[in-house]
Structure 1
Amino acid sequence: MIMSRQASGSRLLSWLPVTAMGVVAVADVVAGPGVGFLPLVSLGPAFAGLVGGWRRTALIGVLALVLCLALGLYDGLFEGRRGFTALISVVGVTGAGVAAAVMRSRREAELASVRSIAEVAQRVLLRPVPRTAGPLQAAVSYTSAVAEARIGGDLYEVVPSPHGVRVIVGDVQGKGLAAVETAAVVLGAFREAAHDESDLVGLGERLERSVARELEGEKFVTAVLAEIGSAGGAVFLNYGHPPPMVVRQDGTVGFPQPPAYALPLGLGVHGAEGPEPYRVDFEPGAQLLLYTDGVSEARDERGAFYPLADRAYLLKDPDAQLALEALREDLMRHAAGPPHDDAAMLLLRFHGHGKGKSVRDA
């Protein structure tokens, strides 16, 4: 719906220069030469410079010049200075419009280049998760609050390891490039430790040390770590992050809470105890959704939070990625547009099939 509105707005803007010149021409013919509408013909190339390329702007300028000449002859304005003044106005505005169109095109090209680089950086940082990992099917959705860059501070990863499938979803304090740099540190440490550490608590402690070395001041990262074995069941460590949502095969929904909330990553070195692991039943047919607060704290126009539990039924599609996309679209409708915070969602489905190799998206 948002895309269709943007397309409609673009079409309206593209017709604006011609419409403006048509209205001026009709008004000049109806009102006569005494009112002085003729110089307003220059609105055509002025609007064209704002919404079109330089070639189209120049073409609109030529049309405006011809229209101005015709109306000036019709009104008999070239017997004095008024007709020539109007022609000079059209020529000057056309030149300014062409210059503006050229500069805008250059800025758009630079922005497209920056966005392309950001997308490549995001694919390197947040590489595609495995479609299948051990007994799990996985799908991911990421929506950045920085619309022009399409990259932010939320993070996720799924790592099949000898100790089970290890998962992380986190949210870096702040936004922009500094948050992206912190997310890269967390993901790098997690990908290495997920293979080496036999215990989830040990993985969390190693991650805490790595993050504490890299972060400065009061920066922190909220995160939830999970470990799912082939026999079922999930073990969690929660570092001040929103609790996961479990959707049972019968449709019931739960948000398992940790025994005690721990400080986010980066703050644990101040002497506080780390999180306690807790186990949650995760049987075949169940779904596990890990997400960031950009989902749970998304508000509508009245300030109401997104009712995630009430929207669990949207995850019914047999294709995990399509199911997650349906939830994302509903979230965008609730927020009436792009989110004000990064919103990441990772959906895991327990199908209970063996321990096959993982397959990553192309």
Structure 2
Amino acid sequence: MSQAQDHGDAHRPIRPSSDRAVPCRAGAWRKGAAQLAVGTPVLPVLIISVVVLVDFVGGAGMIWLPLLTAGPALAAITNGPRGVLCVGLLAAALSTAHGSVNGVPGRQVLAVLSAVVAVTLASALASTLRGRRERVLADVRSVAEAAQHALLTPIPETVGPFRVAVRYSAAAAEARIGGDLYALVPTPYGVRLIVGDVRGKGLPAVGTAALVLGIFREAAYDEPDLLAVVGRIERSLARNLGSDDFVTAVVAGYPRAGELEVVNCGHAPPLLVRASGDVVPVESAHPAPPLGLRALSGQVPTLQVLPFAEGEQLLLYTDGVTEARDHGRAFYPLAEGLARHVSDEPARTLTALHDELLTHVGGRLHDDAALLLLRKPPLPEPAASLRAVPTSVSDAGRGPRPPSQARTAEGQVYG
């Protein structure tokens, strides 16, 4: 799902036209019908009518009339207290009228009325409590949405020289946010991005994700070296996380044309889509531990430098995608799915991948899942407002490193 939002038509005047008038009227009619269906207790009234009709046709006196209590009970599920009371009043009036017409003893009529009144009052109370819970849930959802927008800032369709799309699904549908994280920012040192997965779930995972994203967004602007960005995240997590907590992440950068830098800290390897359509995993030659565990392992992350030409794409994701299982306990084949659905539009590619993923798991994910796809359009490039700018004469005059080189956080070069 591309998170870009188009507000360009918000203030555009609407001109009436004959071909749009009918769809608009039809849409308004459907909306009004839906509101009427929600506000009017149609089904409870129908049930009451059927009960009265059956009792009247069968001539059974008051045998079927106690079923009138089903009307207000059902209204409590679909309507507010006012609707419940109206249905209960209708049921009481019909039972009284039916009893008087058929000469039913007053004791039986009183018994039915007592049952209708009792169920109506209880249903009205239940409807009131349900309405309060729905309002609380709506407030919680609005807070969750605000937290999501603050934590996972929407990414536009175009960032620097790239076309970008993001798809994020929290395992807890009502929570809207989880332990997966992503960010993509243009900086003086080129476009930089991160995709990560926090160990654990719930509010602690969300707090850790917020910490990582805050550090990344600040360090990405301050640090010329991508490994220095990773180092700042590592030091902060070492101070704030417990001994069993960690974050797997891939941090990438595009410092200059045709060159991509990748630092993998215990995360699933990104998938590189060549211009030919081949999907290649970007495996780390020197695996590094997840963020927050460097002090325990003593290993340091390495910087991989890859060629990244026009027309190529890079997919970063979390393990909620690759570890999603179907009913036969088979994992979702992400690389094969990407090869099937890759296109020139990242948003279309991720939509197809996400739909296929949900079909694979049977409609509901059991873990947070994030997908971030960026594509370098072929020349001529679209106009981009943000581009990588060298910050020093040495950066501007330095040629690209050989693709096979990898540099550690201490500056050692592997080649």
Distance in 2 (alpha carbons) for counterparts of 1:306 and 1:68: 60
C-alpha distance in structure 2 between counterparts of 1:75 and 1:314, whole Å: 71
Aligned amino acid, residue 282 of structure 2: P
Q: Distance in 2 between matches of 1:121 and 1:66?
A: 51
| One of 94, 104, 118 as aligned partner of 2:144 | 118
Cα shift at 1:280 = 3.3
Shift of 1:108: 0.7
Q: Give the direction of change, closer, same or farther, for the CA distance of 1:132–1:35 in structure 2 (3 Å limit).
A: same
Are 1:357 and 2:402 an aligned pair? no
Change (3 A) 1:166 1:93: same
**In terms of Rg, which structure is larger?**
2
Aligned length: 348
Aligned counterparts of 1:293 and 1:76: Cα–Cα separation in 2: 72
Q: Corresponding residue for 1:346?
A: 372
Partners of 1:132 and 1:358 within 8 A in 2:
no
For residues 334 and 63 of structure 1, what CA distance do their matches in structure 2 show? 50
Q: Do structure 1's residue 255 and structure 2's residue 274 form an aligned pair?
A: no
- The answer to whether 1:214 aligns with 2:237 is no
Q: Which residue of 1 aligns with 2:335?
A: 309
**Native 8 Å contact 2:289 2:297 kept in 1:** no
Partner residue, 1:137: 163
Q: Which whole-Å CA distance do the structure 2 matches of 1:27 and 1:70 have between them?
A: 15
2:190 counterpart residue number: 164
Partners of 1:250 and 1:128 lie apart in 2 by: 30
Query: Contact 1:239/1:275 (CA < 8 Å) preserved in 2?
Result: yes
Is 2:94 the counterpart of 1:67? yes
Q: Deviations over 1:111-140 (max 9, x none)?
A: 111111111111111112243333212111
Show the counterpart of 2:48.
21
- Which AA in structure 1 matches 2:85? A
* 3-state SS in 1 of match to 2:235: helix
- Which blocks of at least 5 consecutive residues in structure 2 are unaligned? 1-33, 388-415
Contact kept, 8 Å, 2:178 with 2:205, in 1: the verdict is yes
Query: What is the deviation of 1:37?
Result: 2.5
The whole-number CA distance in structure 2 between the counterparts of 1:172 and 1:248 is 30
Distance 1:239 1:67, change over 3 A: farther
AA aligned to 1:90 is: V
Taking the aligned partners of 2:292 and 2:346, their CA distance within structure 1 comes to: 33
Give the fraction of aligned pairs with identical amino acids, expressed as a percent: 48
Measure, in 1, the Cα distance between the counterparts of 2:97 and 2:363: 47
Which residue is equivalent to 1:201? 227
TM-score, normalisation: structure 2: 0.77
Report Cα offsets for 1:320-350 as digits up to 9, x if no partner: 3343233223322322323211111111001
TM-score scaled by length of structure 1: 0.87
Q: Give distance in 2, aligned partners of 1:169 and 1:310.
A: 21
Q: In the alignment, does 2:85 pair up with 1:58?
A: yes
CA contact (8 A) 1:134 1:354 kept: no
* Runs of 5+ unmatched residues, structure 1: 1-6
User: Cα RMSD between the aligned structures?
Assistant: 2.6
Rate the CA distance shift 1:273–1:37 in 2: closer, same or farther, 3 A: same
Pick the aligned partner of 1:95 from 121, 145, 150.
121
- Asked whether the equivalents of residues 33 and 75 of structure 1 are also in contact (C-alpha less than 8 Å), the reply is no
Query: How big is the shift at 1:222?
Result: 1.1
